Amino acid sequence: MTTTAPPGPASATTRPRASTPRRLRAPAAFLLGAVLLLGAAPLALPDSRLNLLAKYLCYAIVAVGVSLAWGRGGLLVLGQGVFFGLGGYAMAMHLKLADAATAGERLPDFMLLYGSSDTLPWWWQPFADPAFALAMTVLLPMTVAGLLGFLVFRRRVKGAYFAILSQALAAALSIWLVGQQATTGGTNGLTGIQGFFGYDLADPVNQRMVYFVIAVALLLLMAAARQLFVSRYGELLVAVRDSEERVRFLGYDPANVKLVAYVVAAGMAGLAGALFVPAVGIISPALIGIVPSIGFVIGAAVGGRASLVGAVLGAVAVAWAQSTLSDAFPAAWTYLQGLLFVLVVGFLPGGLASLGALRRTRRRAPASVRAAAPTTSAVATASTKETA
Amino acid sequence: MTVVLNQSFTGVGIGAVLLLVALGLTLTFGQMGVINMAHGEFIMAGAYTAYVLQRSVDGTGLSLLLALPPAFLVAGTIGALLEWLLVRRLYARPLDTLLVTWGVSLMLQQLARDVFGAPNVQTRAPDLLTGNVSVAGVTLAANRLAILGLALLSVLALTLVLRLTPLGRRIRAVVQNRDLAEVSGIATERVDRTTFFIGSGLAGVAGVALTLVGPIGPTMGTNYIVDAFLVVVVGGIGQLKGSVITAFALGVLQSVLEYSTTVSVAKVAVLVAIVAFLQWRPQGLYTLRTRSLA
Amino acid sequence: MSGAALTVRNLRVTFDGFTAVDGVDLDIAPGDLRFLIGPNGAGKTTLVDAVTGLVRATGSVRFGDEELLGRPVHRIARLGIGRTFQTATVFEQLTVEQNLDIAAGAGRGAWTMLRRRRAVPERVERALETTGLADLRDRPAGVLAHGQKQWLEIGMLLVQDVRLLLLDEPVAGMSHEEREATGELLRRVGEDHTVVVIEHDMDFMRAFARSVTVLHAGKVLSEGSVAEVRADAEVQEVYLGRASVVAGEG
């Protein structure tokens, strides 16, 4: 009796995984991105444009998470506005409190205006501490996502159900915020933020600093997401997306696999919201409801949901087109936006990024792949080798 | 006691509206599995149909009743067109359908803005429906009562169509086993389009009803669409009775919570209740049990 | 022989009033290569579904000392029970090697999961050899031929380090040569694993089974060696199409 299989000639050796130029491609792209974002853009763009770019980069950070959860994990996250908002409000609450302290007031300005009580609500109080507030910008969204994801994935609520629930969450949060005029600023949101940890946001130099913080955050998160994409976890996530049930029979709990992607994406959206506040100076329910939540997905879809760079560029491009075209041609832009979405998602599900990939694969593999594959002979020879 | 009764009736009123806007979805989402985000804009199309009719025909409230068939036709036709142009190409990709139809909904909203203008418009309700009706000390708003009647009538009609007509049998056959239906000689594509036509048409009917309780505007559909989907999710896919029960249950829950807290808190609480409910029944209130994997 | 015995006692599965598995007792010794046969609707797949936790059941299923009923699917899998499906389910977007690597990794820690796959684990390499898929390791599993997908599934069970393999119609739709090759693969896998195969193909069963259980209408009709089962009068009746006689008794 022989054992099941004798170690073959190639077994247990490390095979070269990719040729050197290909292995260097990612770091090279990363470096190029860094040069463009940190060097070229600040030099080439006037302050007002740079400020707009900072805003778009915040959307791009959300898109990084969307690309992970939706592109790789197949989780249609239609409620990213919730996490963007939680991060944004956590940051804005701290900055409002800091502004009030600077002005010598006990309460943020809008509370003096609308508030019925002259004491700070208890749930505002810890946000006076900068470390607490900063931690909350990420932890709060991750906790909410963790809770919802745990309940939903554990009971195998998936696909459309999950998408609708996350959308409902976005609607509920924005409605709730509108209803709490006295403590959240209601429809107006938290506005008129002046300082950012002691720096005056009206000063263009400090605006530049905010831009750099956002650009560095985007680059770091992209690097982290890329690591997740190429890791074993990334492969497992794709496996869960394609056949959740099969993964379960391999001894994994797919609920946990999905939960990680969802929570990480929520954390990224939260950080994006937090950085959005000093760059734009406002966070409001209109920025986090159903429509902006779908907007976060649009950019990633147009650029290419499964491609990290595609999703980021798509988010920036759509945000840029939105603010440029919607002012000049509001009606035409809405039609264009709708049409773009119908055409790209409907007929080019890989997004614009797949155009390049499509050309590459056509060039490389002209013949039928299946024809080249040996079939039974391989098993037959393997078996004779061992029974001999 | 009167407060409880009043509040319950308000809830039933909210439930009737929910039921009416979700009824079409029980066909397109529940039976066909299509997540059509433009469903809200079909509601809008029905509402504008009523508005146009009222302005051009006689200007009195009775025209709302006359508006029901054309609203059904207009919304249904847009729906069938959408199915033919886009949805049928995407049956294998339900989540992409959601995003594509959302793009369509953007365009339809803009179309409404270009044709009717951005500000909201109103229809005039028939005098009969403007007052209150008092029964045993409970005040009932006549317009809510009318919506309740219309909702129940629509459910009845839809049930009869699904149960008794050859079309209904074909629809159910295609839902239960598409391949088998196809080889049995049913033109599944035509059945799909007809189902979509009826589902969208029901949105048009809902649109006429909504003109009784609120203004007509380009974005009126978005206010209802998520709630309508939640009704079908909680009710259970492919089960009309689940949606009916859910719509009224959510309506009453919403109204009771609104009474004891505020509108916005009630909204959040209802969602929490839904997530909790799905812990107990992840497939919704009523499910079809099958042996198939996934 | 490593491995634990599978002991099924009074197993019952009901779908909305229809009893698919009706009080089955089954003992599978470590190292056995057992075939489960029976006409359509006999409850073969449902039995496997119940053992692997896909459907709820009453009664008792023990693997070694562990009770399986009531455990979630992935916990049962971690006890060393793996299965395939009638239609081969592999991760079509991933390569053959990635498929095997994922199957091998249920016990991996967070740190390993977050890093890139660099070396090919020895288990994966061995499974590639055993299943004859070594040359196709970098192909997406989606382009494999039908038979190759089935072998990949069996390979995934091997690297998953299962002790009991439950295979649901592994040779359905295969060509004659593919059947032979699959049979050989089963025989070799059976040398140090316990294997249960659901099969319709009688020739295939005769050639490779070590023992056979015949199910009919949710109950065990007969059990024994291939020769014993073939000689059983009841089994002959069922397979000759006079099933109603037997069903009436049970």
Q: How far is B293 from chain C (nearest CA, A)?
A: 9
Contact between chains at A231 and C91 (C-beta distance less than 8 A): no
Looking at the domain assignment, is residue B286 inside a domain? no
3-state secondary structure of C191: coil
Contact between chains at A379 and C105 (C-beta distance less than 8 A): no
pLDDT at C99: 93
Query: A304 φ, ψ to 5°?
Result: 135, 105
The Cα A90–Cα A96 span in angstroms is: 10
The Cα A107–Cα A97 span in angstroms is: 7
DSSP per position, C56-95: --EEEEEETTEE-TTS-HHHHHHTTEEE--SS----TTSB
CB contact A154 to C (< 8 Å): no
- Strand pairing partners for C37? C214
pLDDT bin (cut points 50, 70, 90) of residue A383 is very low
- How far the first Cα of chain B sits from its last, in Å, is 48
SS3 for A81-112 is: HHHHHHHHHHHHHHHHHHHHHHHCCCCCHHHH
Query: A195 φ, ψ to 5°?
Result: -120, 160
CA distances from B233 to A174, B38, B133, C112 (A): 22, 17, 34, 38
Looking at the domain assignment, is residue B28 inside a domain? yes
| Residues of chain A contacting residue C191, judged by C-beta atoms under 8 Å apart | 1-4
pLDDT at B188: 84
A82, two tokens: 């919730």
- Looking up tokens 């195969």 gives C197
Find the range with the poorest average confidence among A135-144, A365-374, B228-237. A365-374
List, as ranges, residues 94-133 from B with C-beta within 8 Å of A.
94-96, 98-100, 102-107, 109-110, 113-114
The Cα A261–Cα A65 span in angstroms is: 8
Helices A290-303 and B220-235, axial angle in degrees (round to 10): 80
Work out whether strand C6-15 and strand C219-224 pair parallel, antiparallel, or are unpaired. unpaired
pLDDT at C111: 84
pLDDT at B236: 84
pLDDT at C61: 93
Mean pLDDT, residues C97-110: 88
pLDDT at B66: 85
Q: Report the complex ipTM.
A: 0.86
The Cα B275–Cα B272 span in angstroms is: 5
pLDDT at C242: 47
The Cα A212–Cα A46 span in angstroms is: 14
Structure-model confidence comparison of residues B86 and B187, the more confident one: B86
Mean pLDDT, residues A133-156: 94
DSSP per position, B260-294: HS-HHHHHHHHHHHHHHHHHH-TT-SS-----S--
Q: How far is C175 from chain A (nearest CA, A)?
A: 9
Per the structure, the complete domain to which residue B105 belongs is given by: 2-119+140-280
Q: Tell me the per-residue pLDDT of A212-234, one tens digit each, with 9 for 90 and over.
A: 999 999 999 999 999 999 999 99
Chain C residue closest in CA terms to A228: C114
DSSP per position, C151-190: HHHHHHHHHTT-SEEEEESTTTT--HHHHHHHHHHHHHHH
Query: B23 φ, ψ to 5°?
Result: -60, -45
- How far the first Cα of chain A sits from its last, in Å, is 10
B136, two tokens: 């045993």
The Cα B70–Cα B67 span in angstroms is: 6
Structure-model confidence comparison of residues C98 and C2, the more confident one: C98
| Residues of chain B contacting residue C46, judged by C-beta atoms under 8 Å apart | 291
Contact A132/A317 with Cβ under 8 angstroms?
Answer: no
Mean pLDDT, residues A273-290: 94
Chain C residue closest in CA terms to B290: C15
Mean pLDDT, residues B138-161: 88
Is 70 exceeded by the pLDDT of residue B148?
Answer: yes
| Residues of chain C contacting residue A231, judged by C-beta atoms under 8 Å apart | 113-117
Chain A residue closest in CA terms to C175: A376
C89, two tokens: 């389910």
Contact B93/A350 with Cβ under 8 angstroms?
Answer: no
| Residues of chain C contacting residue B291, judged by C-beta atoms under 8 Å apart | 15, 46
Of C112, C132, C191, the CB nearest to A382: C132
Q: Domain extents for chain A?
A: 29-34+44-350, 356-388
Q: Tell me the per-residue pLDDT of A150-206, one tens digit each, with 9 for 90 and over.
A: 999 988 887 788 988 898 999 999 999 998 888 888 889 999 899 999 888 888 899
Mean pLDDT, residues B202-218: 92
Looking at the domain assignment, is residue B127 inside a domain? no
Residues contacting residue A71 through CB under 8 Å, at least 6 positions apart = A300, A304, A305, A306, A307, A311
A279, two tokens: 């760059």
| Residues of chain A contacting residue C160, judged by C-beta atoms under 8 Å apart | 250-251
List, as ranges, residues 358-377 from A with C-beta within 8 Å of C.
369-370, 373-377
Is 60 exceeded by the pLDDT of residue B180?
Answer: yes
Neighbouring chains of A at 3+ CB pairs under 8 Å are B, C
Contact between chains at B289 and C85 (C-beta distance less than 8 A): no
Structure-model confidence comparison of residues C150 and A18, the more confident one: C150
Of A1, A5, A247, the CB nearest to C129: A5
Q: How crowded is residue A47: how many other Cβ atoms within 10 Å of its Cβ?
A: 13
The Cα A297–Cα A301 span in angstroms is: 6
Mean pLDDT, residues C150-168: 90
Q: How far is C50 from chain B (nearest CA, A)?
A: 12
Contact between chains at B110 and A148 (C-beta distance less than 8 A): no
Q: How far is C129 from chain B (nearest CA, A)?
A: 31
Contact between chains at B291 and C54 (C-beta distance less than 8 A): no
3-state secondary structure of B25: helix
Of C93, C105, C118, the CB nearest to A242: C93
Q: How many CB pairs under 8 A join A and B?
A: 122
Task: Work out the mean pLDDT of chain C and round it to a whole number.
Answer: 86
Q: How far is A275 from chain C (nearest CA, A)?
A: 27
* A interface test, pick of C74, C90, C158 with most A CB neighbours within 10 Å: C74
CA distances from A223 to A56, A218, A276, B79, C119 (A): 18, 9, 20, 44, 22
Looking at the domain assignment, is residue B126 inside a domain? no
Segment (H or E) for B207:
helix B188-210
pLDDT bin (cut points 50, 70, 90) of residue B248 is very high
Contact between chains at B264 and A245 (C-beta distance less than 8 A): no
Chain B residue closest in CA terms to C13: B291
Work out whether strand C33-37 and strand C58-63 pair parallel, antiparallel, or are unpaired. unpaired
Contact between chains at A249 and C82 (C-beta distance less than 8 A): yes
Q: How far is A260 from chain C (nearest CA, A)?
A: 11
Contact B19/B231 with Cβ under 8 angstroms?
Answer: yes
List the CATH number of the domain containing B51: 1.10.3470
3-state secondary structure of C198: strand
Give strand ranges (E) for B113-265: 132-135, 138-141
Mean pLDDT, residues C216-226: 87
Q: How crowded is residue A253: how many other Cβ atoms within 10 Å of its Cβ?
A: 20
Q: How crowded is residue B120: how many other Cβ atoms within 10 Å of its Cβ?
A: 13
In chain A, the percentage of residues whose pLDDT exceeds 90 is: 50
Q: Quick one: how far is CA B47 from the chain centroid?
A: 13
Chain B residue closest in CA terms to C55: B291
Looking at the domain assignment, is residue B251 inside a domain? yes
Nearest to A320 by CA among A53, A58, A65: A53
Mean pLDDT, residues C83-97: 88
Looking at the domain assignment, is residue B132 inside a domain? no
Left if phi > 0, otherwise alpha if psi is -120 to 50, otherwise beta: which for C83?
Answer: beta
Angle at B65 between CA B64 and CA B71, to 5 degrees: 75
Q: How many residues does chain A have?
A: 388
Determine the residue type at B38.
A
The Cα C18–Cα A121 span in angstroms is: 59
CB contact B275 to A (< 8 Å): yes
C51, two tokens: 């053992």
List, as ranges, residues 72-101 from C with C-beta within 8 Å of B.
85
Of C125, C136, C181, the CB nearest to A8: C125
Residues contacting residue C2 through CB under 8 Å, at least 6 positions apart = C30, C163, C192
Number of compact structural domains in chain B: 1
Is 50 exceeded by the pLDDT of residue A14?
Answer: no
Q: How far is C43 from chain B (nearest CA, A)?
A: 12
Nearest to A148 by CA among A233, A67, A236, A79: A79
Neighbouring chains of B at 3+ CB pairs under 8 Å are A, C
pLDDT at C248: 37
Q: How far is B170 from chain C (nearest CA, A)?
A: 25
Mean pLDDT, residues A33-55: 88
CB contact A4 to C (< 8 Å): yes
Chain A residue closest in CA terms to B103: A338
| Residues of chain B contacting residue C15, judged by C-beta atoms under 8 Å apart | 289, 291
Q: Tell me the per-residue pLDDT of A321-359, one tens digit each, with 9 for 90 and over.
A: 888 888 888 888 889 889 988 999 888 888 888 887 666
Query: B219 φ, ψ to 5°?
Result: -105, 15
CB contact A46 to C (< 8 Å): no
Segment (H or E) for B223:
helix B220-235
Contact between chains at B107 and A168 (C-beta distance less than 8 A): no
The Cα A292–Cα A314 span in angstroms is: 15
Structure-model confidence comparison of residues A21 and A267, the more confident one: A267
* A interface test, pick of B81, B98, B104, B258 with most A CB neighbours within 10 Å: B98
Is 90 exceeded by the pLDDT of residue B9?
Answer: no
Residues contacting residue B45 through CB under 8 Å, at least 6 positions apart = B71, B74, B75, B78, B108, B203, B204, B207
Contact between chains at B293 and C16 (C-beta distance less than 8 A): no
Predicted TM-score (pTM) of the model is 0.87
Work out whether strand C66-67 and strand C58-63 pair parallel, antiparallel, or are unpaired. antiparallel
Q: How crowded is residue C4: how many other Cβ atoms within 10 Å of its Cβ?
A: 19
Chain B residue closest in CA terms to C17: B289
Q: What does the longest C-alpha to C-alpha distance in chain B come to?
A: 60
The Cα C120–Cα C122 span in angstroms is: 6
| Residues of chain C contacting residue B289, judged by C-beta atoms under 8 Å apart | 15-16
Of C115, C122, C130, the CB nearest to A382: C130
Work out whether strand C194-198 and strand C33-37 pair parallel, antiparallel, or are unpaired. parallel
Is 60 exceeded by the pLDDT of residue A388?
Answer: no
**In the 8-state DSSP scheme, what is residue A203?**
S
pLDDT at A150: 93
Radius of gyration of chain C (CA): 19
Contact between chains at B293 and C15 (C-beta distance less than 8 A): no
The Cα C119–Cα A300 span in angstroms is: 33
